[in-house]
Amino acid sequence: MQKLRIAVTMGDPAGIGPEITAKLFLLPEIYKNASVTVIGDLTTMIDTQRRVSNKLSIRPVTSFNEKMTKGVINLFDMKLIKYGEVPLGAETKKGGKAQYRYVKKAIEAALKGEVDAIVTAPINKHALHMAGIMYPGHTEILAEETGVKNFGMMLMCPQLKVMLVTTHTSLKSVSGLLTVKKVLEKIELAYTAMKNDFGIKAPKIAVLGLNPHSGEAGAFGDEEIKIITPAIKAARKKGIDAQGPYPPDTIFGKLIHKQSHDIAVCMYHDQGLIPLKLIGFESGVNVTLGLPIVRTSPDHGTAYDIAGTNIASAESMLTAFKTAVVIAQNRMKNR
């Protein structure tokens, strides 16, 4: 199989993104199946490389087709930041604008077919907003730039995959945001991803209830009766093996320990993320579903408190990279 071309955005220059990006190049796994190009700024990456390891060096490149050499970081230098302009651990307008431009460049390259997948290091939403770029995060930037309306956030670790119906919203607003159409769309996205991106021939989808005990026949809420069950029935009519709604407090044990289903469709952010981060905080990966391009990311933030200390773990970044490789390879097979 041909080597993939993968673009890695270095994320917020004030956070741990540049560090975990540099640390990728110390790991033998990244040299096996892909040619990797970092999108970022030379000043930041040189400063980071010096802290991380003297076994690394940086080579500025102007295309995504350059061959990799062990220990050499191929860097597409966006030339947005001068040395010292963005202090470590600080939210700045300059840093917010730069992190956005790295992502835009990666999306552009993926849409042009210059890269086969993108892996994005963490960005800081407040810094993004300081720069006047009013997105909630990566997912919405990716959706708008690729022109996609039906998209979703899937989080995964080796033992568990979860798909979120609602994401960054208040708990009190979740019920009002749920519709049969929206739940069905997320079930369909989860099914398609399991089949096409992960090569599972007959995916089993666990759909969770919203309320304790999945509402207990309406005793604790009727969202399961009016919204979630009709969405499951509609999915089954389309040939999707969707099951539920399952009580959220019992299904995760079966998912994690017995692999009862391939993915869980969760109604809100913490319903899916608490169990996933409990068992896979260091290895969690965010995958944006529904896009015409492959995008993964480590499932953690910019960690300003440890930026520049050289103690950030690259495990989640490596898992995000490996996941991007798997998805890109499977999509190539299905072309």
Torsion of CA 238, 244, 248, 253, to 10 degrees: -100
- Residue 20 CB neighbours (<10 A): 27
pLDDT for residue 1 is more than 80: no
pLDDT for residue 301 is more than 60: yes
Rounded to a whole number, what is the distance in angstroms from the first to the last CA of the chain?
A: 14
Pairwise CA distance, residues 18 & 21, whole Å: 5
69-122 residue pLDDT tens: 999 999 999 999 999 899 999 999 999 999 999 999 999 999 999 999 999 999
139-161 residue pLDDT tens: 999 999 999 999 999 999 999 99
Q: Order the strands of the 57-61 sheet from edge to edge.
A: 57-61, 72-77, 34-40, 4-9, 117-120, 295-298, 285-289, 152-157, 160-164, 263-266, 204-208, 241-246
Q: In CATH terms, are 1-149+287-335 and 159-282 the same topology?
A: yes
- The amino acid present at 269, given as its one-letter code, is H
pLDDT value of residue 44:
96
Q: Residue 299 gets which letter from DSSP? A: S
Q: Let me know: does 145 contact 138? Beta carbons within 8 Å.
A: no
Q: Let me know: does 303 contact 285? Beta carbons within 8 Å.
A: no
Residue 73 corresponds to which tokens in the numbers above? 């970081």
H or E, element range at 161 = strand 160-164
pLDDT for residue 137 is more than 90: no
Pairwise CA distance, residues 105 & 109, whole Å: 6
| Domain boundaries along the sequence of the chain | 1-149+287-335, 159-282
Q: Residue 197 gets which letter from DSSP? A: I
The mean of the pLDDT values for the chain is 95
238-273 residue pLDDT tens: 999 999 999 999 999 999 999 999 999 999 999 999
CATH 3.40.50.300 fits 159-282, yes or no: no
**Superfamily for the 1-149+287-335 domain:** Isopropylmalate Dehydrogenase (3.40.718.10)
